[in-house]
């Protein structure tokens, strides 16, 4: 579903969206390699690259079920049909001096955004989820102290709307509302919209 933008943007960004209905079609390894290569080249504070991903493909049933169990129940209901699931993790301290890295989640977000753009180039769709169980993920995947599971990620091909459950079809058919830029682009002081918007 292409975004209806107020100002022109690159078509890849306008095409990117997060559906709930996925096709029953495996994602080739060559594409997965490129998605995580795109994440690898994202910018980060001091080039720390404070991110990691735990990935499970549906054809590896046991691993997929383990990762699926780290999502909240509502996300499990639709994500069980996705061909690839991942958890995005952030390292909370700088590796070079072990001081807190308050930019770690931001940097994980940049890496995941790069992954999303690369996916869109390849005809894939990505749905990122805040609804995960971080403590369960820590236990299931032996995530060490100093790292935190922050997001779930579904990767695959957009499914035909008719193949999804009714509630998911309705969610996918709904418009994607966005605040206008004038509500978050300020100049001079917080809340004062820049004059060129």
DSSP string, 98-157: --B-TTHHHHHHHHHHHHHHHHHHTT-EEEEES-B-HHHHHHHHTPPTTEEEEEEEEEE-
Average predicted confidence (pLDDT) for the chain? 92
Which residues are bridge partners to 132 per DSSP?
A: 71
Q: What angle do CA 49, 124, 117 make, to 5 degrees?
A: 40
Q: CB within 8 A of 100, min separation 6: which ones?
A: 92, 93, 94
**Mind listing the pLDDT tens digit for each residue in 153-183?**
999 999 876 666 766 656 656 666 889 899 9
**Mind listing the pLDDT tens digit for each residue in 103-157?**
999 999 999 999 999 999 999 999 999 999 999 999 999 999 999 999 999 999 9
Is pTM, for the whole model, over 0.85? Answer: yes
Which residues are bridge partners to 54 per DSSP?
A: 87
Full set of structural domains in the chain with CATH = 11-162 (3.40.109.10)
């Amino acid at each position: 579903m292409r975004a209806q933008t107020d100002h022109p943007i690159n078509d890849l960004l306008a095409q990117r969206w997060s559906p709930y209905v996925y096709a029953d079609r495996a994602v080739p390894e060559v594409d997965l390699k490129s998605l995580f290569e795109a994440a690898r080249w994202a910018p980060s504070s001091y080039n720390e690259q404070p991110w990691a991903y735990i990935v499970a493909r549906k054809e590896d049933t046991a691993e997929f079920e383990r990762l699926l169990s780290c999502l909240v129940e509502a996300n499990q209901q639709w994500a069980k049909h996705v061909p690839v699931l991942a958890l995005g993790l952030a390292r909370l301290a700088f590796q070079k001096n072990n001081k807190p890295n308050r930019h770690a989640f931001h940097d994980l977000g940049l890496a995941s955004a790069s992954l999303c753009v690369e996916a869109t180039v390849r005809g894939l769709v990505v749905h990122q989820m805040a609804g995960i169980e971080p403590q369960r993920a820590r236990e299931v995947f032996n995530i060490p102290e100093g790292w935190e599971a922050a997001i779930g990620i579904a990767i695959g091909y957009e499914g035909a709307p008719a193949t999804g459950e009714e509630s998911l079809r309705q969610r996918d058919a709904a418009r994607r509302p966005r605040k206008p830029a004038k509500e978050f682009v300020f100049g001079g002081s917080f809340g004062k919209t820049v004059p060129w918007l």
